[in-house]
A = this chain, B = another copy of it.
Amino acid sequence: MGQIYIEKFTIPFEMADVNGNLKLPSFLPKVLEVSGNHSAQLGRSDVDVWETYHLVWIVTDYEFIVDKLPRFGQEVQIRTEAVAYNKLICYRTFDIFDQDDQHLMTIKSYFALMNPETRKIVSVPEDLIAPYGSEKVKKIARSAKYTNLDGANQVEFFVRYFDIDRNGHVNNSKYLEWVYEVLGYDFLKGHQPRRIHLKYNREVTPGGKISSQYQLSNLTSQHQIVSDGQINAQAIVEWRTNDL
């Protein structure tokens, strides 16, 4: 079993939507911060990884399994484990619990190491990953079957200055906002995600606009983010009706 790291966190006002439920896109930077704190504690901060290996971490996929969304003002426990890795991918889970230790949701995350000069993914160095105690495996399974959407509905979004992070590209949390927003206020006020698969294919750079395309059928929505004729990200969201 991998090293487990735990932090407490109280959901602030700006992470709550109009219903008082956690905004998942706003929560992604928080879980990455927790992951970063875990790594730093093991001597593997982003700065260490850069200085020792000349590599940076990138997220390739997320999966969210939501039993119950955390609420505004709620204190939760974020429990993360670097579960497993293979040649190219590291698999980390975040489990969120309430104050009574009831499980609220799981975020599965998949990371790779990139050489920022060549923009190529490289093999995971054994001594980089050793402190995490992760299991080495042949295959890291990811279950989603994304299909390319033809003739989907679409909404265009200009890439905003504040979408761009210090890495010079659109922050990975913004894609999930583009996925949500196409469904419109009334749908989003009345529904919440039960499960989300999200895959990053290609970074979005500053300037220009993206097309957020989707098909919604039987409370499952399929999504792709497209720019310059190429797919930047794909998502599948299973929704449930809010009990308000």
Measured CB to CB, the residues of A under 8 A from B are 12-14, 16-20, 23, 25-26, 29, 32-33, 72, 158-162, 164-166, 168, 171, 173, 177, 180-181, 184-185, 188-189, 206-207
B161 x A17 contact (CB < 8 A):
yes
Selected from B160, B164, B171, B188, the residue in CB contact (under 8 A) with A161 is: B188
A12 and B33 within 8 A (CB): yes
- Interface of A: prevailing SS: mixed
Q: Top 5 nearest A-B pairs by Cβ distance?
A: A14-B29, A161-B188, A18-B164, A185-B206, A161-B185
Q: What is the CA–CA distance of A166 and B13 in the complex, to the nearest angstrom?
A: 8
Given known A162-B23, A166-B72, A206-B185, contact A29–B17 (CB-CB < 8 A):
no
The answer to whether residues A177 and B165 also contact, given A18-B206, A29-B12, A32-B13 and a CB cut-off of 8 A, is no
Complex CA gap A164/B171 in Å reads 21
Find out whether the CB atom of B160 lies under 8 angstroms from the CB atom of A18. Answer: no
Indicate if the CB atoms of B206 and A162 lie closer than 8 Å: no
Residues A16 and B165 in contact in the complex (CB < 8 Å), given A185-B207, A206-B185, A207-B185? yes
